[in-house]
Amino acid sequence: MFENKKIFILGMAKSGFEAAKLLATRNNKILITDQKEQKEEHVSELKRLGVEYIVTDHPEEILDQSYDVLIKNPGIRKDHVCVEKARKLKIPVINEVEMAAKLLPKNVHIIAVTGSNGKTTTVTITYEILAAMGFPVYLVGNIGTPLSSIVNQIKENDMIVIEVSDHQLCDMYEFHPNIAVLTNLSEVHLDFHGDYKTYKNVKKKLFQNMTTHDIAILNHDNYDVMELTSDLKCKKLYFSGTQQKDCYVMNGYIWYQDEKVIALDDIRVQGMHNYENIMCAILVAAQYGLDREVIREVLGNFGGVEHRMEYVRKLHGRTFYNDSKATNNKSTEIALDAFTAPTIVLLGGLDRGQSFDELEPHMEHVKHVICYGETKDKIKAFCDRIKKDCIVLDDLEESVKAAYNLSDEGDVILLSPACASWDQFETFEERGELFKKIVEELN
């Protein structure tokens, strides 16, 4: 499988680059295309491996019937002309995860996590607990490390914890996790999928190949999760912040099967959204032999993931937080609810056609809004409607400096954009790193 094939990779990025490297070790003829020039060291490495790389706005002009498969970058839409041409030519269209999973050894334990929010935190905690329990485990996927990059290191019975996005699930057909986690569902990425029903059905694809021997870990408090997964064939385990299910929060503790696992006060990252992520990880760990001491140690030290409610610095009584990973309203709602101090929030980014009205009930402690990017006019109109002070600027640097100048001692200055970064940045990580750099340079 994936040996001596002719393979077309549409879109470089990390996943395309690692897919090309992996496939090049299996005597395949590979062409990779992208609209943008790539790093010279990446291009040189691909050339050394015999991979052909072409920069073009019209990859469909190169694609022909001689190709065995097209591997598509997850961010490329299904109606892209090159993808449509591949389907007309009956060339299979998959993505890097689907391809790499087919090349794994037998008996690898795959723990896959998806959901509208909480994926990165959940996979990180799960990985840290399993690693601390002594298992050979790898952390990959949408978190930033492509599965392709570790395939040649994996041995039988190793574990893989993988974050899977809805964009990735679109082009996955045979991927089969042993444990699949659905953290929650809310109306996000509708610009990509068209409507909420389609988005939910894409998320459900994570479970499509699971059998009665596999396990789904599900959010009992989320109506859409419960409705979507009602007919799954696999075993189902539930977590809840309100009811006594397989794992739950009650009386200041997280419980598993009616036994205390950890006191909430002993957990470094607070808030129900974090407890939900932790319960997912506990339910995964329980399938391999729950070690409460390990869990207490990991959760006592875990301070969160980068770009998610990340403390940056305190300057003249103002506290700065980087929540660049908040690319939708729900994530920003969680961030706003976390603070009772007067807050100046930086909002804005790619316009996906979304409304910001959902933020209104969460704006109680917001004293100023600074908005920028493609959505700045929408955000200004929203703020005017709810009578919240709002300043419109062009970019992140201007916005940070304006927030600092407006702030008083005791204020929180929060980057939580509620938008994707792609109008001005390549990734949310790039946006978050710039925010931190600007903040560190303030005096």
List, as residue ranges, the binding site for ATP: 115-121
- What's the CA gap between 355 and 190, in Å, rounded? 11
Nearest-CA neighbor of 293 among 263, 270, 269, 261?
261
Contact call for residues 17 and 42 (beta carbons, < 8 A): yes
- What's the CA gap between 121 and 239, in Å, rounded? 16
Residue entry with tokens 């409610």: 309
CA dihedral 328, 334, 337, 341 (to 10 degrees): -80
Q: Give the 3-state secondary structure percentages of the chain, helix then strand then coil, rounded to 5.
A: 35, 20, 40
- What's the CA gap between 14 and 270, in Å, rounded? 32
Rg of the chain over all Cα atoms, to the nearest angstrom: 22
Ramachandran region, residue 160 (left: φ > 0; alpha: ψ -120 to 50; beta: rest):
beta
- What's the CA gap between 83 and 89, in Å, rounded? 10
CA dihedral 158, 161, 164, 169 (to 10 degrees): 30
Nearest-5° Cα angle at 48, 45 to 54: 70
Residue numbering of the annotated binding site: 115-121
SS3 call for 424: coil
- What's the CA gap between 85 and 8, in Å, rounded? 12
Residue entry with tokens 């050894």: 105
The Cβ of residue 2 has, within 10 Å, a number of other Cβ atoms equal to 18
Q: List, as one string, the DSSP characters of 10-66.
A: E--HHHHHHHHHHHHTTT-EEEEEESS---HHHHHHHHHTT-EEEE-S-GGGT--TT
Contact call for residues 94 and 173 (beta carbons, < 8 A): yes
